[in-house]
């Protein structure tokens, strides 16, 4: 592993635990709170694996959450430290002190006198390590991406045109994706999910959507909108009852916020829920709810008005409604411009009763919970847009190579080359925005503004890519049955669903002008 320079810290070697000597006799570790005095380190250095080394290790174990076991020998390797192989310490050139483990984790550094067993990095340490800047996906992320790409290109892409034409929900594809673990990629393993990280999920979603965005939105709406609120806000019992079969992908779960009068203005929700004799009685309707009417849908979480606050604003609460609940009905699916093989229905609630314990999260926190959910959803819709933009580019590049005019491939004309270059640049930018936002979320950092940026830029870049892909195809791109014509139809929804470009631009602008994205959004939906 080569050392890398990140924010002035050199990170590299087996554990990435690197101290940098700063003016003022102190060593500063990547974790800003972790400081060791230079004197202590010098003492530790003398004994290397001696008492001070032990203390230093103990402190590192405590502060960094590393797990160690009897027999470990920690080396405090000064900058001239040789490796066991006689090669230079991978970080010595940086002038750093490297707290390295005794072998293991791919280390090239020397082992302790007792042969030493490697340290095992804890969850916390892995999360911190992920935060180090590195454009390489982890092995796990790569595995999810490659698995998705293989499956999408072999099993989804060849059927995408037919799925769009027939507007049929692809049960067999979704079943296979469940078997592969994709339909529960980020959901907890203890509830049947795959336990993958959010970056991996977005990489996978990009690949699935590159083959077909109908399948992409089915996966996204299930994982991000349907299941993640259950996983985040559900009680243990709710997770057991509702999440378990959905986290495997065997059943689907939907999320119902949008209504006739409540689109961008989610606070305009009219659906009501009254508590009567230990039951919530729900009345009202929802529209365009994804995954709400398939044969495998297990239920929906709906946002309903459960009262009025002192300031006159509605109290909005999330309620779990299983599919077979009396008083809950679904209308027919819609004729759509895109996402035609995905499933959306209007939902109707007429004296629909669910037990009081079907409250999800806190009473009155429904909108706040949903907006948090939506931040993750926006990153995912941006990933879906990147996948679609990539599909446009794939088709455009192939056409530019094959189509001949004036005795040469059209890709030889500068006008076409510039279109390809612009598409490639924008896709790269959009992908980086998606991955940055996903990485921030995975690291537990604020990511609301970045989610909005990724959503706006990726959806609009995809629209431009679809437009240019049709242009590069000429009249052929205007024909029914041409992939780029389908992409051109499909791309528009990405600028609308899960927050329009307008509302996302407002979140970005307000966060720049006034306050953090989180505060700006809280004010916009203040109840």
Ligand X SMILES: Cc1cc2nc3c(=O)[nH]c(=O)nc-3n(C[C@H](O)[C@H](O)[C@H](O)COP(=O)(O)OP(=O)(O)OC[C@H]3O[C@@H](n4cnc5c(N)ncnc54)[C@H](O)[C@@H]3O)c2cc1C
Distances (CA, A) of 100 to 30, 72, 123: 14, 11, 18
With respect to ligand X, which residue has the nearer C-beta, 29 or 288?
288
Determine the Cα–Cα distance for residues 220 and 497; give it in Å rounded to an integer.
Answer: 12
- The strands making up 97-100's β-sheet, listed across from edge to edge, are 35-37, 26-28, 18-22, 97-100, 75-77
194 token code pair: 């795959």
**Shortest Cβ distance from residue 198 to ligand X (Å)?**
20
**Shortest Cβ distance from residue 128 to ligand X (Å)?**
35
Residue in 214, 208, 153, 163 with CA at minimum distance from that of residue 182? 208
**Shortest Cβ distance from residue 376 to ligand X (Å)?**
14
* 8 A C-beta contact, residue 393 and residue 469: yes
Which phi and psi angles does 311 have, rounded to 5°? -85, 10
189 an active-site residue? no
Long-range contacts of 88-91 (CB under 8 A, 24+ apart): 89/13, 90/1, 90/2, 90/3, 90/12, 90/13, 91/3, 91/10, 91/12, 91/13, 91/18
**Shortest Cβ distance from residue 239 to ligand X (Å)?**
21
The residues of the shown chain that bind ligand X, judged by CB under 6 A, are 221, 225, 255-258, 263-264, 288-290, 336, 339, 344, 493, 496-498, 500, 502-503
With respect to ligand X, which residue has the nearer C-beta, 11 or 456?
456
* Position closest to ligand X via CB: 263
Which residue carries 């791109």 as its tokens? 477
Residue in 232, 51, 155 with CA at minimum distance from that of residue 242? 232
Long-range contacts of 169-175 (CB under 8 A, 24+ apart): 169/218, 169/294, 169/341, 169/342, 169/343, 170/214, 170/215, 170/218, 170/341, 171/294, 171/295, 171/296, 173/215, 174/215, 174/218, 174/249, 174/252, 174/296, 175/249
Determine the Cα–Cα distance for residues 89 and 475; give it in Å rounded to an integer.
Answer: 61
**Shortest Cβ distance from residue 500 to ligand X (Å)?**
3
Which phi and psi angles does 412 have, rounded to 5°? -80, -15
With respect to ligand X, which residue has the nearer C-beta, 221 or 227?
221
With respect to ligand X, which residue has the nearer C-beta, 73 or 258?
258
With respect to ligand X, which residue has the nearer C-beta, 261 or 310?
261
* 8 A C-beta contact, residue 194 and residue 203: no
Catalytic choice (498, 514, 518, 519): 498
**Shortest Cβ distance from residue 452 to ligand X (Å)?**
13
**Shortest Cβ distance from residue 287 to ligand X (Å)?**
7
Q: What is the DSSP-derived secondary structure letter of residue 309? A: -
The sign of the dihedral angle between the CA atoms of 433, 434, 437, 438 is negative
Q: Which residues are catalytic?
A: 498
């Amino acid at each position: 592993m080569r050392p890398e320079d990140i924010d002035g810290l050199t990170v590299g070697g087996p554990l990435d635990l690197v101290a940098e000597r700063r003016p003022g006799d102190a060593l500063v570790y990547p974790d800003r709170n972790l400081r060791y005095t230079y004197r202590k380190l010098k003492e530790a250095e003398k004994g290397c694996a001696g008492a001070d080394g032990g203390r230093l290790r103990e402190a590192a174990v405590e502060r960094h959450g590393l797990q160690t076991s009897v027999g470990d020998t920690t080396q405090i390797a000064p900058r001239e430290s040789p490796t066991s192989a006689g090669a230079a310490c991978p970080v010595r050139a940086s002038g750093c002190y490297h707290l390295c483990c005794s072998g293991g984790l791919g280390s090239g550094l020397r082992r302790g006198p007792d042969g030493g067993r490697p340290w095992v990095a804890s969850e916390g340490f892995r999360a911190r390590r992920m935060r180090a800047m590195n454009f390489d996906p982890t092995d796990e992320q790569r595995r999810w991406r490659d698995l998705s790409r293989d499956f999408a290109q072999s099993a989804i892409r060849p059927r995408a045109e037919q799925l769009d034409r027939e507007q049929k929900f692809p049960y067999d594809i979704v079943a296979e994706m469940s078997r592969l673990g994709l339909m529960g990629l980020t959901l907890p393993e203890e509830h049947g999910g795959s336990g993958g990280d959010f970056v991996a999920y977005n990489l996978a979603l990009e690949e699935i959507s590159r083959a077909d965005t109908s399948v992409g939105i089915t996966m996204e709406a299930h994982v991000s909108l349907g299941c993640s609120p259950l996983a985040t806000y559900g009680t243990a019992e709710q997770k057991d009852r509702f999440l378990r079969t959905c986290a495997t992908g065997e059943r689907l779960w939907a999320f119902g916020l949008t209504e006739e009068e409540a689109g961008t203005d989610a606070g305009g929700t009219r659906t009501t829920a009254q508590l009567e004799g230990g039951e919530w009685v729900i009345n009202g309707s929802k529209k365009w709810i994804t995954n709400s009417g398939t044969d495998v849908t297990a239920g929906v979480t709906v946002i309903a008005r459960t009262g009025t606050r002192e300031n006159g604003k509605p109290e909005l609460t999330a309620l779990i409604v299983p599919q077979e609940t009396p008083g809950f009905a679904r209308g027919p699916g819609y004729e759509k411009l895109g996402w035609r093989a995905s499933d959306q229905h209007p939902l109707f609630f007429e004296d629909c009763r669910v037990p009081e314990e079907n409250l999800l999260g806190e009473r009155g926190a429904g909108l706040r919970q949903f907006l948090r959910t939506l931040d993750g959803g926006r990153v995912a819709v941006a990933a879906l847009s990147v996948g679609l933009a990539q599909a446009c580019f794939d088709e455009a590049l192939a056409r530019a190579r094959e189509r001949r005019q004036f005795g040469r491939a059209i890709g030889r004309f500068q006008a076409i080359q510039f279109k390809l270059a612009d598409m490639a640049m924008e896709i790269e930018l959009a992908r980086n925005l998606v991955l940055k936002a996903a990485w921030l979320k995975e690291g537990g950092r604020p990511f609301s503004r970045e989610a909005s940026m990724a959503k706006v830029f990726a959806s609009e870049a995809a629209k431009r890519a679809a437009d240019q892909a049709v242009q590069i195809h000429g009249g052929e791109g205007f024909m029914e049955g041409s992939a780029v014509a389908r992409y051109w139809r499909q791309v528009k929804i990405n600028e609308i669903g899960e927050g329009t470009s307008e509302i996302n631009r407002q979140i970005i602008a307000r966060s720049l002008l006034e306050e953090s994205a989180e505060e700006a959004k809280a004010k916009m939906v203040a109840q």
